Structure 1
Amino acid sequence: MTTRRRPRAGRIAANAAGLAVAAFAAFPVFWMISTSLKPNREIFSTTPRPLPAKPTLEHYRDIFGGQIIPGVSFASFLVNSALVAAATVLLSGLIALLAATAVARFRFRFRTTVLILLLVVQMIPLEALVIPLFLIIKRAGLYNTLPSLVLVYLGFSLPFAIWMLRGFVAAVPKDLEESAAIDGANRWQIFWRILMPLVAPGLVATSIFSFITAWNELIFALTFISTESRYTAPVALTFFFGRDDTAWGGVMAASTLLTLPVMIFFVLVQRRMVAGLMSGAVKG
C-alpha cells in the first residue's frame, strides 16, 4: 500500500506544482485582458478588481478609431507586422532548409567554420548592430520600407534555424533518398516528398522562433521606419506612453491584440513544435 501511495502522492504534488507555475505564468496575461475591458475609472481605482464590474470595449474602439496617431488605425499597424512576420517566416524556412541540407549532406571546405560562425553570430548583441545595419539599409535604398525589416529579421533568425534544421536533416537516413533515386525520383521529388515531411517538425519549431522575432521586435522597426503609416504594431504601442500620463487602457488593449496572434499561431502548431523540439534534442 505504501509503495502505491508514494507514486500517487508524487504525481499529485507534481501536478499541483505544474498548475501553480502555469497560473503564475498566465496571471499577467489574464490581468492584461481584464484591464483592457475595464473603463478608466476602474483602471485607476485604488481598490483593483481582477474582473471588470462593467466590461467595455471603448479602448478597442479608441485604438481602431485612430486615437494613437490621428487618421491611422491600429489595424494598419497589425497588417504591417503581419506582412513582415509572414515574409520572414516563409523566407527563413525556405533558406534555412536549403542551407541545412547543404551543410548536413555535402562535405565542402570550411564546413566546420561555417557552423561555428552560425553560433558566433547569435552571440552579438543587437544594440551593437543598429548603426552598421542602418548605414547598409540606407545605402541600399531600403530605408523606410518594410522589406528592410524583413532582411534584418532574416539575418537574426537564419543562424538558429539553420543550426536546428541541420540536426533534422542529418537524422534522415541517406538510404531513403538513394532508394527514391533508384525508383526514378529526381532531386526535387526527393527533396519535396522524402526530406520535407521528415524535417517538418523542426521546420515548424524554427518558424515559431522566426515569427516571434519578427512580430515583437522594436529597436530596428523604430530605427528603419520613419513614416507613421508604415510602423509595425510594437512601434505604435510606444505612442500610448506620454510625458505626463499613460493610456493604460489602450496599452492593454493593444497588447492583447499583439499577444493573440502569437497564441493562436502557437496553439495551431504546438504538437509539431513539441515533437520537433524532442526529436531535435534526441537526434541532434
Structure 2
Amino acid sequence: MTRRHSLGRRIGSVAIFAVALLWAFPVYWMINSSFQSAPTISALEPTWLPFGGTWRNYSAVLDGSSGFGQAMRMSLMITALSLVVCIVFAFLGALAISRFKFRGRKSFVLAIIIVQMLPAEAMFIAQYKMIAGLNLLNTVIGVSVIYIASVIPFTVWMLRGFVAGVPADLEEAAMVDGCTRFGAFMRVTFPLLAPGLVASGVYAFIQVWNEFALASVLLTSDSSETLPLWLRGFAEPSTLGMIEWGQVMAGSVLVAVPVIIFFLIVQNRMTSGLVGGAVKG
C-alpha cells in the first residue's frame, strides 16, 4: 500500500506539473515574442529562447505617440475608483444580510442571484442611454458607475459567506470584556474577515481591469481608452497591411504587469490576514 501510495503521488505530481506547463506556455510565448523582431516571429522555425533579442518593441509601446501612458492612467483611475467603492458597499451589504434580520432580506439575496443571471450584453443599450443622458460618456466616473453596479452583486455574495462564517458570539464576548460594539467588530471580527476582503478585491480588480465589451460601448473617444481598448487598436494592421506582433506582445506584457504587482501585494496581505485572524480568534 505504501509503494502504491508513493507511486500514485508521483504520477499525480507529474500530471500537475504537465498541466502547469501547458497553462504557463502561452504566457512564456507572449514574453518570448515580445523580445523578437518581426522577421524572427514570421520565420518558419520558431525561436524558443529570446537570446539576442531586442528592446525595440517595448520602446515602441512606451513611446509617447503610442497612447499607452494615457490608456494606463485611464485604467488605473477607473480600477482604483471602482475597487474602493465596490469593496466598501459590498462589505456593508454583506454585513447587513448576514448580521441583521430585516424585512425583504430574502428578496434582497434573491435579487442578487437574479442579477447575476442576466447577460451583460442585454443591458448595454440601457446603460449607454443612461450614461449619455448624464453626459458621462468617455469619463472615469461614467464607466466606474457601471462597473461598480455590475461587480457589486457577486462581491456581496462572496463576502456574505465570509461574514456568515464568523460567529457573532465573538463580538458579544468582546463586548462583555468591555469593548463597544464598534470596537469589538474592529478588534475581533474585522481581522477574521480580512482574507475575504482581499479575495473579493482580487475578483473586483480582475473584472474591472480586463473589461472590454462595456468599455468599447461607453468609451468611444481615442483619448479615453482603457488598456484593453488601446491594445485592440494597437493590434490593428499598419498602413503597410502588417501587424507588428512583437509590439503587440510587448504591449500585452506591460498590460499584465500591474496585475502581477497587485497579486504580489495581495498575497502578502492575505497571508497576514489569515494569521492575524487565527490569533484574534
CA contact (8 A) 2:98 2:160 kept: yes
Q: Which residue of 2 aligns with 1:112?
A: 106
How far apart are the structure 1 equivalents of 2:138 and 2:35? 35
| Cα drift, residue 130 of structure 1 | 1.0
Q: 1:226 to 1:158 in 2, by over 3 A?
A: same
Pick from 207, 218, 222 the counterpart of residue 212 of structure 2.
Answer: 218
Q: Which residue of 1 aligns with 2:55?
A: 57
CA contact (8 A) 1:202 1:276 kept: no
* Superposed structure 1 runs of 4+ greater than 4 Å apart: 271-277
Deviates more, 1:10-19 or 1:187-196: 187-196
| Cα drift, residue 107 of structure 1 | 0.8
Q: Where do residues 120-135 of structure 1 align in structure 2 (5 Å cutoff)?
A: 120-135=114-129
- Which SS does the other structure have where 1:245 is aligned? coil
| Unmatched tracts of structure 1, length 5 or more | 278-284
- Kindly provide the amino acid, as one letter, of the partner of residue 207 in structure 2: T
- Which SS does the other structure have where 1:52 is aligned? coil
Deviates more, 1:202-211 or 1:24-33: 202-211
Q: Does 1:12 align with 2:27?
A: no
How far apart are the structure 2 equivalents of 1:167 and 1:275? 20
- Kindly provide the amino acid, as one letter, of the partner of residue 245 in structure 1: M
How far apart are the structure 2 equivalents of 1:273 and 1:153? 24
Deviates more, 1:8-17 or 1:234-243: 234-243
Q: Where do residues 138-217 of structure 1 align in structure 2 (5 Å cutoff)?
A: 138-217=132-211
| Unmatched tracts of structure 2, length 5 or more | 275-281
| Cα drift, residue 262 of structure 1 | 1.7
| Cα drift, residue 275 of structure 1 | 11
Query: How many positions carry a matched residue from both structures?
Result: 271
CA contact (8 A) 1:93 1:206 kept: yes
Q: Which residue of 2 aligns with 1:36?
A: 34
TM-score scaled to structure 2, two decimals?
0.89
TM-score scaled to structure 1, two decimals?
0.89
Pick from 241, 246, 250 the counterpart of residue 243 of structure 2.
Answer: 246
CA contact (8 A) 1:205 1:272 kept: no
| Cα drift, residue 226 of structure 1 | 2.9
Q: 1:267 to 1:211 in 2, by over 3 A?
A: same
Once superposed, what is the RMSD of the aligned Cα atoms? 2.1
How far apart are the structure 2 equivalents of 1:272 and 1:13? 34
Percent sequence identity over matched residues?
Answer: 39
